[in-house]
Amino acid sequence: MVRFPATAGTLFKLEAREGSTSRPARDYSLVGPNAKLAVDQGLVAADWYHTDVPRARMKQLMKRTDGPAIRDSVIWLILLAATGFGGYEFWGSWRCVPFFLCYGVLYGSASEARWHEAGHGTAFRTSFLNDALYQLASFMTLREPIFWRWSHTRHHTDTIIVGRDREIVPMRPPDILRLALAPFAINGAIATLVSFIRHSLGRITAEEADFIPEMEWKKLYWQARLWLFIYVALIATVSYFGGWLGLMYVVLPSLYGRWLVVYLGLTQHAGLAENVLDHRLNARTVYMNPFFRFIYWNMNYHVEHHMFPMVPYHALRDLHREVSSDMPPACKSTVGAYREILPALLHQLRDPDYSLPRELPPSARPFRPELHGMASNG
């Protein structure tokens, strides 16, 4: 039974059905029965809940400018160069390890947030700079630019809607082994390689055809061929001239440096509700230290980002202050977030219907069950 109390200041939860036991994995396919069910329930491209923000204030928050992203990108690139130089200087001894650990995080984790923000077109005011950063960060994160641009568009249109959103992590019941291996990025790298090869051969899956417009398919194929050639040529070149040292600077840091963004990224939605049209229930805001926020480009304000995705990363903290009276309490730290996430994932192994409750402050607007095609009385 799905129960959504209709007053603020109460707990909103998907309650476990009485006598529930372990169930098989759900079908998250974009072409499976749950995809049709989402349409039938009115959950596709639906009317999402939004906190009221005065129009003039929202216009200020959405203002794009080049300055903050140029500043942060210059700092990022300087730190990459400095840590990379340190790794080169101490190569062959254990003293290179901390330098490459830092280089890897800056390469494999920080690039993820920059890929994301540039993909939204909000990092810079200048479109060329957004496109350039998006392509660079896509390369560093081993992502196909066209494929992932449309995948992430779907993620924001139908956030955590089963059968529509291919970026749901973790699925239910959680695959604990897959989650444990995620920081090493091996599965993602293999999936990317398979995808590159498939697209370079001019093939697209039924799921991909569901979220990538047909007019983009030819560009997707040619881009895959180009990028596959670049990756192969680059790996061959740096291996020949630099051996393992060369690979420590490209490709490998996409694997050994991704662990931090996985740690930060799992806090976004894990354990929260599926198939709801209120980001207060399916996303999580977490307070993070300045270093994490620099790496993550303020994506820790994730409820706010999903509710207002066109607000630039540098304004998300101000947006958070603006809407906090209508939001569930933010987690005080990543450790605090995992204190609720890990028990929830273990609970979902037994009962995939379970979701963490979200509590709204008394000042919040009431939750509206009519926004949810799956809501029922009881």
374 or 99: which leads in pLDDT = 99
pLDDT for residue 372 is more than 60: no
Tell me what the mean pLDDT of segment 97-111 comes to.
98
Measured CA to CA, the distance from residue 291 to residue 303 in angstroms comes to 20
Longest dimension (CA), the chain: 68
Average pLDDT on 304-312 reads 98
pLDDT tens digits, one per residue of 209-246: 999 999 999 999 999 999 999 999 999 999 888 889 99
Closest CA to 219 of 200, 194, 197, 206: 200
Question: Which pLDDT score, from 0 to 100, does residue 5 have?
Answer: 38
Residue written as tokens 């993550």? 296
DSSP secondary structure letters along 300-325: TBHHHHHHSTTS-GGGHHHHHHHHGG
Residue-wise pLDDT for 158-173, tens only, equals 999 999 999 999 999 9
Q: What share of the chain in percent tops pLDDT 90? A: 84
Query: What is the separation, in whole angstroms, between the first and last Cα of the chain?
Result: 8
Question: At 203, is the pLDDT very low, low, confident or very high (cuts 50, 70, 90)?
Answer: very high
By the 8 A CB rule, do 104 and 253 touch? yes
The residue among 18 and 280 whose pLDDT is bigger is 280
What pLDDT, on a 0 to 100 scale, did the predictor assign at position 183?
92
Q: Mapping DSSP to helix (H, G, I), strand (E, B) and coil, where does residue 2 land?
A: strand
Q: What is the mean pLDDT of residues 328-357?
A: 96
Mean of pLDDT values over 38-51? 93
The DSSP secondary structure of 252-301, one letter per residue, reads THHHHT-HHHHHHHTTTTTTS-SS-S-HHHH--BB---HHHHHHHTTTTB
Mean pLDDT score of the chain: 90
pLDDT confidence bin for 368, thresholds 50/70/90: low
Query: Does the pLDDT value for residue 337 go beyond 90?
Result: yes
**Among residues 261, 253, 257, which one has the least CA distance to residue 300?**
261
pLDDT exceeds 50 at position 127: yes
Least Cα distance to 12 among 324, 356, 285 occurs for 356
- Interval 121-143 mean pLDDT: 97
pLDDT in tens, 310-334: 999 999 999 999 999 999 999 999 9
Q: How far apart are CA 36 and CA 39, in angstroms?
A: 5
Residue showing tokens 């560093």: 140
Average pLDDT rounded to a whole number, residues 289-300: 98
Q: Specify whether the CB–CB gap between 280 and 303 falls below 8 A.
A: yes
**pLDDT bracket for residue 179 (50, 70, 90):** very high
How many secondary structure helices (H) and strands (E) does the chain include? 18, 3
pLDDT computed for residue 371 by the predictor: 56
**Position with higher pLDDT, 4 vs 267:** 267
pLDDT at res. 258: 96
Question: Positive or negative CA dihedral for 329, 334, 338, 339?
Answer: negative
Dihedral (CA of 24, 29, 31, 33) sign: positive
